[in-house]
């Protein structure tokens, strides 16, 4: 059996799904493009992401990361989800089907929205998730701080999608073009209910965009890597609380919190 082009190190999380969705989109858009990959699911309950072998791949001890197995036998590792997306389209999107011409205004716009997500939506949503779902004690200030900021960031995306006569995607002229700028933020927005929001009623265009992206190339296949679970919005409050309880132990251990019985 031939060696795949890439190995993806991942877990079922928004940042992991960014990469698997992009990989599946590229495979679908370029069936003869020579891109193949396998994946390794890291077991957070065993802190595999902190083991020495993985720290050689990603010194930050987080997922996702990829190893590119090059034709000459060498390997190259890439970590940080946005950096991985850029690495992928630079090499396997020659017709710029989900990216933009290097040096173009559209590429600059895409980078701006990618950095907006990478520096804002992801970290703030992650903190909202932590304080609302996992923190060993409920701290109202922390919950309010990060949920309020997450909603503000949602409002920025809502405004972007409302521009002109309404946009379908974040980047490109007219209605825009589906691209890695959308993929980079979509998994975080898809988890809106886990952040503690009751609905997306205040963000109608964002809700339409969320459904639109769900039908785009690679999304459903990418959500199955390494496995697909139900969206938080499909769970009852009781089911959400039980899922949070089950996950809190290894999440807190991974963050260096000392747990006592």
Q: Which residues of the chain have pLDDT under 70?
A: 1, 230, 232-233, 235-238, 240-261
pLDDT value, residue 252 = 59
pLDDT value, residue 128 = 95
Phi, psi of 191, rounded to the nearest 5 degrees: -95, 25
CA distance 130 to 14: 14
- Domains belonging to the chain, first-starting first, are 6-92 (3.40.30.10), 105-215+235-251 (1.20.1050.10)
pLDDT value, residue 253 = 55
SS3 261: coil
pLDDT value, residue 109 = 98
pLDDT value, residue 260 = 38
Give tens-digit pLDDT for 20-38: 999 999 999 999 999 999 9
Structure tokens at 74: 């060498």
pLDDT value, residue 45 = 87
pLDDT value, residue 259 = 41
Contact 205/166 with Cβ under 8 angstroms? yes
Rounded to 5°, angle at Cα 49 from 71 and 92: 30
Count of C-beta atoms within a 10 Å radius of residue 160 = 18
The separation between the first and the last C-alpha atoms of the chain, rounded to the nearest angstrom, is: 48
Count of C-beta atoms within a 10 Å radius of residue 55 = 12
pLDDT value, residue 258 = 41
DSSP secondary structure string for all residues of 146-208: HHHHHHHHHHHHHHHHHSTT--SSSBSSTT-B--HHHHHHHHHHHTGGGGT-S-STT-HHHHH
Give tens-digit pLDDT for 110-126: 999 999 999 999 999 99
Kindly tell me the burial class for residue 44, based on how many C-beta atoms sit within 10 Å of its own C-beta (0-12, 13-18, 19 or more): middle
SS3 75: strand
């Amino acid at each position: 059996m031939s060696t795949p082009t890439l190995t993806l190190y991942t877990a079922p999380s928004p940042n992991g799904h960014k990469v698997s969705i992009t990989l599946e989109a590229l495979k679908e858009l370029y069936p003869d493009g020579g891109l193949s990959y396998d994946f390794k699911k890291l077991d957070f309950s065993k802190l595999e992401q902190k083991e020495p072998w993985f720290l050689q791949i990603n010194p930050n001890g987080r997922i996702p990361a990829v190893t590119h197995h090059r034709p000459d036998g060498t390997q190259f590792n890439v970590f940080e989800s946005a950096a991985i997306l850029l690495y992928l389209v630079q090499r396997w999107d020659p017709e710029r089907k989900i990216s933009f011409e290097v040096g173009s205004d559209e590429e600059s716009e895409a980078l701006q929205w990618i950095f907006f997500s990478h520096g804002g939506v992801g970290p703030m949503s992650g903190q909202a998730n932590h304080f609302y779902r996992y923190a060993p004690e409920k701290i109202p200030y922390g919950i309010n701080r990060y949920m309020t900021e997450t909603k503000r960031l949602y409002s920025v995306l809502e405004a972007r999608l409302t521009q002109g006569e309404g946009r379908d995607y974040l980047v490109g002229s007219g209605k825009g073009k589906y691209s890695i700028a959308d993929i980079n933020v979509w998994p975080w927005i898809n988890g809106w209910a886990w952040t503690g929001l009751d609905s997306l009623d205040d963000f109608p265009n964002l809700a339409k965009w969320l459904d639109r992206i769900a039908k785009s190339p690679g999304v459903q296949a990418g959500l199955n890597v390494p496995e697909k679970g139900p969206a938080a919005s499909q769970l009852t409050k009781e089911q959400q609380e039980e899922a949070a309880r089950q996950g809190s132990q290894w999440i807190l251990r991974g963050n260096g919190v000392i747990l006592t019985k």
